[in-house]
Amino acid sequence: MTTTAHGNRAATTILLFLLLVGLASAQQKPAVPLVQIASGDLIEITVFDTPDLSQKTRVGNNGRIDLVVGGNLWLAGLTSTEAALAVEARLRDAKVLRNPHVSVNVLESASQTVTVLGEVKNPGSYPVWGQQPVSDAIAAAGGLTQNASHTAALTHKGSATPQTIELDGASHTASNASLFLLPGDRLVVNRAGIVYVLGDVGKPGGFVLDDRAPITVLQGLALAQGMNRTANMRGSLIHQAAGGPQQQPLDFKKILADQTSDPVLHDGDIVYVPLNAAKDWANRGLNSVLQMAVGVVIYGRY
């Protein structure tokens, strides 16, 4: 009897020890925040053994869904587990099923998205779970347009101040590898400047500027494959100033001979090279040149 009593006390002591260890471990584990269903979420409701009652539906702006049978039901603010219990209760109350077993899964969360705008092919909001590299967000938006710059404005959720980030080359990744997008963030890809080289050149059109490396008149002519043999050596540089377009004469011969400065081009500038053999081209006015810039081909960097 004594041996049995000692054995029982030892077993009880071990059980109490294990219970205390388990409680301590549970207290040390960080609480995992529960994701709540929100308006706009796409959810999947599975009613076990009754596939006709299962459905995929999007939560309306009023926070409700329409069940296949059972009417509309408020789910906004509930977790997946709570939503499943609410659907079960509705099916019981509506006498659809006596003992329903339901699961609810969030397929697309409207609150777990990032917004990608600006110079991307398909601007909009895209789902994200946890951290997402900038390059993945741009890829989800269809990639950059040919007018995209090397910079973007990143605004984190809860912040009113955008942060300017650099995009590295054709990979479109952030130059700072530690930068990631989180749910609720907003990324706006900036537009690059465009300069126009028009008239008697090899490839007239608009050329996207590299915002990290300004170009001059001669470099713009090189992008346009140079002046033709019939080109007039006197042309014009048209600036888009605050008070309206302003025309500046250019002497290409002196610029090529380094006898005068080679002006730096800015966004919206137009370099116009007239025909040498046609006075009507050489005498074109400012408005005529501006009209030529409308609808020309834009040559991107990528």
pLDDT tens per residue, range 75-130:
988 999 999 999 999 999 999 999 999 999 988 777 778 899 999 999 998 888 77
Residue 16: inside a domain: no
Tell which of 151, 168, 191 closes a domain: 191
Give whichever of 134-138, 154-158, 216-220, 280-284 has the largest mean pLDDT. 216-220
Query: For residues 217 and 250, is the Cβ–Cβ distance under 8 A?
Result: yes
202 in the same domain as 261 = yes
131 in the same domain as 179 = yes
Averaged confidence pLDDT in the chain: 82
**Looking at residue 287, which CATH number applies to its domain?**
3.10.560.10
- Domain extent for 169: 113-191
The whole-number pLDDT of residue 4 equals: 54
285 in the same domain as 213 = yes
Amino acid identity at 279:
K
The whole-number pLDDT of residue 282 equals: 46
**Partners of 195 in beta bridges:** 207
For residue range 218-270, what is the model confidence (pLDDT) as tens digits? 999 999 999 999 899 999 999 988 888 888 999 999 999 999 999 999 999 99
- Cα-flanking dihedrals φ and ψ of residue 220, to 5°? -65, -40
Token pair for 159: 């912040």
* CA distance readout (Å), 133 to 62, 152, 171, 173, 184: 33, 14, 12, 8, 14
Tell which of 152, 171, 191 closes a domain: 191
- Please state the rounded mean pLDDT for residues 162-166: 89
The whole-number pLDDT of residue 7 equals: 54
- Report the domain count for the chain: 3
Tell which of 60, 88, 108 closes a domain: 108
pTM check: above 0.85: no
